[in-house]
Amino acid sequence: MAASSSELREEILEIREDVLEYKPGKASSCPERVVFPENLYIGIFGQTGCGKTSLINSLKFAAHGRLRRAKWLQAATQEKAGGHTMFRRFADITKNIFVIDNRGLDEPNTEKALTELRAQLDGKRGYGSKVVWQGEKDEDELDTSDLVLDQPQTGQPIGCAVFVFSARHDIDSNTTGLTEVVDFLHGHQGRYPVAVITHVDVAEKDHVETLESVLRVCGVSDIFRVANLTDGKAKLEDLYQLSLLNLIERCMTDGDDTLIFKYYQRMEEKRRDEIQKILKEKERKEEEEQRARELEQRAREQERMAIEQERRAEEDRRKSERSRLDMEYATKLQEQQYLFEMEHERKRAAALEREMEEREERERQREARYEKALREAEASKQEDLRRIMAANRSKDSECKIL
């Protein structure tokens, strides 16, 4: 059952009050003391001509219930078919809610587009640099990836990503590469993107419903149908104001949840860094211990080698000493053998000499005995002759006597 005009108006006023009083952290609760930033930044992304800038004007109108034309952001005319925005720019919805307008994103799933999207989500893009989703790098863009700059980043992290789709565009061109972007945002922000279908007041209802079904298949669950302020439409119906306020309220909740997710993500990264640091410290200590063990083992090995060298040197010394002693002993034996042989030769010579002397002595004694025997024989012979002669003389005497 459709709400009455008064109920619709009452709901608008209630949500509008919450929107105007919103500060980051107010739309969600967290058990831990998360430090929320001062402002919520909503990123607006979409194809060229989908009505992103006009959507911002409509959001400002819905948040305050009015918007002077002088406060409108410049949007492309219908004849130009979009493409007015070339640089990132931001606009205030409330004193604590800001939206960031972007250049048209026609191929969101390219590597360069995702790189640029990541940089914007992380607040690493300012508001004066030209947005380049595809193609070569801008010639005027300086590569500072390897530089450490004192100047802080000029952008702000995006708490809620809103993708804008025009109900007047072809569905296939509207959703090309969307699934990859949805998965990327969910992994990077912890939230699925919010989708806005614009121009629903001038498009066929079946086309809007088909587009919404396709968006849900791509993974987008929060889809808001809105009509934008245009040159011919300076005010918005309550139904569209409510849808826009619901969109802002959804962004408030998603922004807080994203900030909480980023907080826990940082805590997890910090925990991982601490674990990594501990692991590196442990690895460093293990490496130091390993090096110490290797040094100790090397020292022991060197000591063992030194001992082995000393042992071998001592063994060589002993061998040398034994060899010297053996040589001395052999020399001594040779000397003793020589002396023995000399003594033996001397003794043999002495024995021969004694034997010769004895032989000569025996020969002398034999000669002496022989001579003695000769002398004795001669003496005996002489004696016998004398006796004979004496006898003969005696006989002669007797004869004479006779």
The per-residue pLDDT for range 180-228, each reduced to its tens digit, is: 889 988 988 888 899 999 988 888 889 899 989 999 998 898 999 998 8
pLDDT at 351 over 50: yes
Quick check: is 291 in a domain?
Answer: no
Q: Nearest 5 degrees, angle CA 307-CA 310-CA 315?
A: 125
Answer yes or no: are the C-beta atoms of 11 and 242 closer than 8 Å.
Answer: yes
Quick check: is 369 in a domain?
Answer: no
CATH number of 33's domain: 3.40.50.300
Give the domain range for residue 162. Answer: 5-134+153-264
Quick check: is 280 in a domain?
Answer: no
What pLDDT score was predicted for residue 2? 57
Quick check: is 377 in a domain?
Answer: no
Considering only residues 126 and 4, tell me which one the structure prediction assigns the higher pLDDT.
Answer: 4
List the structure tokens of 9.
Answer: 């108006």
Quick check: is 49 in a domain?
Answer: yes
Amino acid at 289: E
The band of 139, judged by pLDDT with boundaries at 50, 70 and 90, is very low
Answer yes or no: are the C-beta atoms of 169 and 200 closer than 8 Å.
Answer: no
The whole-chain average pLDDT of the chain stands at: 80
CA distances from 224 to 221, 241, 246, 383 (A): 10, 11, 8, 191
Quick check: is 145 in a domain?
Answer: no
Quote the number of domains for the chain: 1
Quick check: is 171 in a domain?
Answer: yes
The per-residue pLDDT for range 51-74, each reduced to its tens digit, is: 888 888 889 889 998 876 555 565
Exposure letters 360-380 (e unless 16+ CB within 10 A, then b): eeeeeeeeeeeeeeeeeeeee
Percent of the chain's residues with pLDDT above 90? 18
What pLDDT score was predicted for residue 109? 64
- pTM equals 0.65
Quick check: is 394 in a domain?
Answer: no
